[in-house]
Amino acid sequence: MMMKYYKLMKKILIKIFQDQYVFQLNVPLICGTTITHGALAMTHNAMLLDADEYDESFTKIYSKMFPYIDNIHGKWHLNEIRAIIFKKISFTR
């Protein structure tokens, strides 16, 4: 019984460390004047946001507005997020 559990956990950990998705859900991206839908995914070292280009709200966005919408397809490494949080904590002390 314990051996099966160990093998299962080993398979899960191998998938996690091969940059597979650990967590994924559909979320709305709120950006200034519009809301579009997409998927937020987490891996062991990054957070990714991918807008759903076939969603009705995405197709309604005026094409000249795209340069002003930040991170509609974004990837943030967790080290960068940690650095921002640590800087904020060090400035408040």
Query: What residue ranges define each of the domains in the chain, with the CATH number in brackets?
Result: 20-92 (2.30.29.30)
Q: Which of 22, 16, 13, 54 is nearest to 36 (CA)?
A: 54
Q: Which two tokens stand for residue 46?
A: 């990054």
Alpha helix (H) residue ranges in 1-93:
2-17, 56-59, 78-92
pLDDT at 1: 46
Please check whether residue 34 is in contact with residue 68, taking contact to mean a CB–CB distance below 8 angstroms.
Answer: no
Span 69-79, average pLDDT: 72
- pLDDT at position 54: 79
- Whole-number percent of the chain with pLDDT over 70: 60
The larger pLDDT score, comparing residue 63 to residue 10, is at 63
3-state helix, strand, coil in the chain (%, to 5): 45, 30, 25
Of residues 57 and 18, more confidently modeled: 57
